[in-house]
Amino acid sequence: MSDIITVIAPVNIAVIKYWGKRDEDLILPLNDSVSATLDTSIMCAKTSVCARADFKEDAIWLNGKKESFDSPRLQNCLGEIKLRAAAEKSVSEDFLQRKVHVCSENNFPTAAGLASSAAGYACLVTALAKLYKVKSDVSSIARLGSGSACRSVYGGFVRWHAGINPNGTDSVATQIVDSTHWPEMHALILVVGDTKKKTSSTVGMRIATQTSELLKHRVKYCVPERTEEIIQAIRQKDFPKFAEITMKDSNQFHAVALDSYPPCVYMTDVSHFIVDLIHKYNTASGSVKVAYTFDAGPNACLYLLKDEVPKVISLIKHVFPTSKPESFITGLSSGEEVLSPALM
């Protein structure tokens, strides 16, 4: 028999979006990105892993449904963990030969633009690293599962450096500030739609990389400056600056999706209504109090300071008196939860 290892991992929502790869296999991005890692008390992935001599094949269940383990991303993650375990001599040769079973669940919509791939792969590689007693940093292994996952391994605000090396050794995530730096910062998730997106992030950014002229402009002329500016705004706790860059970057990312051929449409009428509502709210407030950002899906993530939370929640309830959009409020994660085994 072997132990079952269970861990949880947080989602992260980017304020400077990663969209486009220069290497599809190593998952190397065209541009740097910046995100905040959200507290696991509301949204998280939970993954259990187990390796046993009597297992006949590697297998994975995602949200209760058996999926193929043949995906190159799963193979790369497991393969890299085993290579590290062999190099670190952390488990026996016999243990390395065993097949592994993985069981993972997200307590929020999967593949709907709420960063399930980020939480999911951060969780998977953290669980595998514990199972194989791998001590070295797993962020770059999480990147092999899903690019955005390399950021979910750390708490607070995180930057993923695109890097320039063809082998990806400098394409790493680093923490900008930890979650204690800006404790007033909160995220309000508005679930507009919970169905699986028509075009996955992987496919959407592949089409953009191949066809969008705007993406080339964004990567060269917009993201580098924005990245430096938003990092400065985060360090100085300059909310209006942080919010303006966040909203502009979300808008430009969705413009790139539309500039792709064929176009990818991730936002819905309700998403656009929320954009409009936030701009009106900020204008009425006399300064920028709330920022919206949308990943590759219809759901909004609002960044706002604690004082604004009750006002914005009552506004949302007033404007959407029925259940949609469902809303979750959360602070930022310290990132430590990812390392603590959870109970089954």
Residues in contact with ligand DP6 by the rule CB under 6 A: 14, 17-19, 27, 33, 115, 117, 146-148, 201-202, 295-296
Q: Which of 297, 298, 325, 335 binds ligand ADP (CB under 6 A)?
A: 297
Least CB distance from residue 114 to Co ion, whole Å? 9
201 belongs to the binding site for ligand ADP (CB under 6 A):
yes
Among 40, 36, 20, 39, smallest CA distance to 28 is for 20
Binding partner of 98, given ligand ADP, Co ion, ligand DP6, none, CB within 5-8 angstroms per partner class: none
Q: Which of 31, 117, 140, 152 binds ligand ADP (CB under 6 A)?
A: 117
At 309, list the tokens.
């939370």
233 belongs to the binding site for ligand ADP (CB under 6 A):
no
278 neighbors 251 (Cβ within 8 angstroms): no
Residues 110-129 that bind Co ion (CB under 5 A): 117
Least CB distance from residue 341 to ligand DP6, whole Å? 25
156 neighbors 177 (Cβ within 8 angstroms): yes
Which of left, alpha, beta for 335 (phi over 0: left; psi -120 to 50: alpha)?
left
Q: Given the DSSP bridges, would you call strands 59-62 and 65-67 parallel, antiparallel or unpaired?
A: antiparallel
Residues 92-111 that bind ligand ADP (CB under 6 A): 104, 106, 110-111
Q: Which of 296, 300, 304, 316 binds ligand ADP (CB under 6 A)?
A: 296
Total residues at the site for Co ion (CB under 5 A)? 2
Which CB sits closer to ligand DP6, 85 or 192? 192
At 274, list the tokens.
């929320």
Read off the DSSP letter of residue 150.
G
304 neighbors 290 (Cβ within 8 angstroms): yes
Residues 31-50 that bind ligand ADP (CB under 6 A): 45
293 belongs to the binding site for ligand ADP (CB under 6 A):
no
246 neighbors 35 (Cβ within 8 angstroms): no
Three-state secondary structure readout of 102-136:
EEEEECCCCCCCCCHHHHHHHHHHHHHHHHCCCCC
Residues at the interface with Co ion (CB under 5 A): 117, 201
